[in-house]
Amino acid sequence: MTTARDTIVDALDIESFILCESEKEAKELIGKLMQSLGLPRFVIVSLDFNGPGAHFRVRAYMNKPGDNYTWLQ
């Protein structure tokens, strides 16, 4: 059965602002966030820390070129 997740062409990006005190802490929090969302394989695309926290975009690839794409199953 096709799930909504199977229809993602390539990647799911999550963008938000996270409250933290350093870039290092931001990365740790993003890792925990992605784990909690069931997306343990992720890559941080961009991260900009300043003042209250970090503006970030994190990406979980669902289908990479060469894969057996979920949207063709």
Partner 1 sequence: MMKILLAPLDPVHDAGLKLIKRKLEALGYPCVLLPPDITVEEIGEAAIAEKVDMIFVGRTVGYGVEQLFRRVRHVLTVQGVFDKVRVAIGGMAVTDELAKSLGFEAGYGPHTKIEEIHAMIEKNPELARHITHPVKNKPKFPFPHDNTVKNSTTKNLLDEIVDGILDWTADKSSPGVVRAHITESQLQDVKGSVESYTALPFTRDYLAQCDESVVDFFQKNICPPSVRQITQKEVDAYINRIDIAKRNFHPRVLRHGREKPLVFVQYGTGCPMMDGMHIKVAESWGADGVLHFDPAWGARTEGLMDGFLTNAEDGTPVTYANLSLIRRSLDAATLWTVRAHRGLNTPEIAVLSGFLGADMTKINIVYGSICGGTDPARLTVDGVDAIRTATRYNMPFDIPTNEELAGVPPHKAFAGMLIMAQLGRRLGAQPILKPLLCHGPYIMVNELMEQNYVDYNFAKIRALQALADFPIWPGEPIGFMTHTEEKEQSATTTALHAAMCSTLGVDAITTASTDEAFSRGPITADGRVGSLRAMEEAFRFFGETDVAPTKKADEWRDDIIAGINRTLEAVTEAPSFVDALYQGILGDKADGVYPGRAGKNSVVTAPKPKAVGRWDVTPAIVRKKPVLTVKAVTPGVLPARRRR
- Dist. CA 16–CA 44, nearest whole Å: 12
37 binds partner 1 per the rule CB under 8 A: no
Minimal distance, residue 11 CB to partner 1, in Å: 5
Residue 29 CB contacts under 8 Å (≥ 6 apart), including other chains:
18, 20
19 binds partner 1 per the rule CB under 8 A: no
Residues recorded for the chain: 73
Q: Is 11 helix (H, G, I), strand (E, B) or coil?
A: strand
Minimal distance, residue 56 CB to partner 1, in Å: 10
Binding segment for partner 1 (CB under 8 A), chosen from 17-25, 26-34, 42-50, is 42-50
Q: Enumerate binding residues for partner 1 (CB under 8 A).
A: 9-11, 13, 15, 43, 45-46, 48, 57, 59, 61, 63-69, 71-73
